[in-house]
Amino acid sequence: MSAHSLALIRLLQVSDTAFPSGAFAFSSGLETLFNEGRVTKPEGVQAVLAEQILPRWASFDRVFLHAAHAAAGDLSKLSEIDARCHLQSSSDRLAHASRRIGRSLLSVHARIGTPGAAAYRSHADQPDLREARSYEPVMQGLIGAGLGLNVTQCELGAVHSTCMAFVSAAVRLGRLGAIEAQGLLAATAPRILATLEQPVPQLAGAFSPFAEIAALRRNTTQAVLFAT
């Protein structure tokens, strides 16, 4: 019981939006979708979350999170999983975002002494690896293991962060009320559960073109608030 509760205490801590992770500067294409008028209503935000963001997480990020959680402690294996994530990331901008968030997480956990974080940071800091390692799901798996979370707790935290980052971007873009956002998350909870109840795919793959292309199409001449 007490080991379980301790893991939950840590899970709550690191899943809180007050935990500095850098994730707040990324909207996963939502900003572009708003600016282009492709998403206008809260229902649209919910649809993108349920049909694009969650499936992408489940078919891509989740696979790497599981692999990294299982490999925690084995630096060369982790690096290999990270490299695979790098090679399989087809959207350059989303890959860059994932690395930046992963690096932020790694840096914070190294500072607060989460087991495994500092060692991996030294590894990923090598000049030739800086642009090719520290992907968010790999870091979540490695850090989750370091915090004593089991893989289910670890993926709960990760999927929660993904949904929160997306919905809170909509709030900060002024398109969704703060309370409306919570209603949306409540309504999406069964969908999240269903996603987690699916078996983890053997191979990672992502097909969420609506959000991915929006993230790529991000207009840099126009005013933009988010990095994706």
Partner 1 sequence: MTLLAPDQNTRAPGPARVGIGGPVGSGKTALIEALIPVFMSRGVEIAVVTNDLVTKEDARRLQASGLIDPARVVAVEAGACPHTVIREDPTLNIAAAEDLEARFPGLDLILVESGGDNLASTFSLDLVDWWMFVIDVGQGDDIPRKRGPGIMLCDLLVINKLDIAPHVFVSADAILAEAAAVRGEGRPVIGCRCKGTQTQGVSEIADLIMRDLLFRQVPA
Q: For residues 66 and 103, which CB has a smaller minimum distance to partner 1 in the complex?
A: 103
Contacts of 212 (CB under 8 A, 6+ apart): 29, 52, 56, 90, 91, 94, 206
Distances (CA, A) of 147 to 102, 110, 152: 16, 12, 13
If the CB atoms of residues 130 and 217 are measured against partner 1, the closer one turns out to be 130
In the complex, minimum distance from the CB of residue 23 to partner 1, in angstroms, rounded to a whole number? 8
Q: Which is nearer to partner 1, 20 or 209 (CB)?
A: 20
**Residue 29 beta carbon to partner 1: minimum distance, rounded to whole angstroms:** 14
Q: Which residue number, 86 or 103, has a Cβ lying nearer to partner 1? A: 103
Instruction: State the minimum distance, in angstroms, from the CB of residue 20 to partner 1.
Output: 4
Q: How far is the CB of 123 from partner 1 (least distance, A)?
A: 14
Cβ of 187: how many Cβ atoms within 10 Å? 12
State the SS3 of 101-116: HHHHHHHHHHHCCCCC
Q: d(Cα 129, Cα 79) in Å, to the nearest integer? A: 10
Supply the minimum distance, in Å, between the C-beta of residue 22 and partner 1: 4
Residue with tokens 């968010």: 136
Residues contacting 145, CB < 8 A, separation 6+: 68, 69, 72, 73, 116, 154
Nearer to partner 1, 110 or 196 (CB): 110
Q: Which residues bind partner 1 (CB under 8 A)?
A: 18, 20-22, 24-27, 100, 103-105, 107-108, 110-113, 118, 125, 127, 130, 169, 172-173, 220, 223-227
